[in-house]
Structure 1
């Protein structure tokens, strides 16, 4: 007489096999987890390969779904969702990042202003216009150096400070530090 496995064991085995075969891609449950996954992909150099780009696109879509479904409710939710979206280059993602960041700020999360400034600057850079706050740096491969993307001279340090962005002089100093680190890496 053959012993049959209980249906729960079979179902659990199928679920486990499905997870293993799909690369264990369990969707994040919170905006903070999603943001951490986005950063992990970038830190591992995954921002340039097809699989990582597909994962990022899925994550950005998940934020849009959370927003549409009303899943985002707290200042933390809005902040981390916007921080994930601001890593995108797509205007629709950056527009939503800006909106969510301001919602976070309205709910008392001051870092929302900084994320909103970054989203606004990225949108301007995508349009080949000077950025407002100075959050975007670009790498010049010909010269092998970093530089601050052009900044609108009408934006004051007071405006930057109100958005949690350092003064222009400090931003320019950051560029020098990036280039110093780059030179040290080449020398080693």
Structure 2
């Protein structure tokens, strides 16, 4: 989440957006869009506006076209942060929509369902709220790599147990994850074995 502008220009949610289909996976509604012969799965974890955001689904379609089986789960279970709400209402909404409790725990049955389909390599791509979910899954080694875009609700402590290859795409004008905080993440991760990519200065909103 970059800042208040994210709520002043929210997406217009659409259950029919995208070229994929909505199906049950791990007991959750999921937007599925896939290359027909992919052996690799990408779990795209939404921001606070949920899995019906048209741009999120468009991006999922693009990733699928590159050769991946892409799943966008409805981790918010039909209750995204409402576009007419303001950031002042966000702490109240988060009490029932914690990225650890709601997001990471809710992702586990979806991951198990993907494994049962034969996918042994799963990447987690988290946007804003979903970035925290991806980090939690990485700590549990439930995914093999993670990408965080405009991450929110993260601290340095969140990365202490991460040894999974990870990319952090922040922004120069991000209120919730400014470059100086991303730098701290980078310093901690750089001391760990494995491949770690950290990119900053990218705008998505």
Q: TM-score range by the shorter chain?
A: 0.3 to 0.5
User: Which of the pair has more CA radius of gyration?
Assistant: 1
| Higher RCO, 1 vs 2 (CA within 8 Å, ≥6 residues apart) | 2
Higher strand proportion: 2
- TM-score normalized by structure 1? 0.34
Higher helix proportion: 1
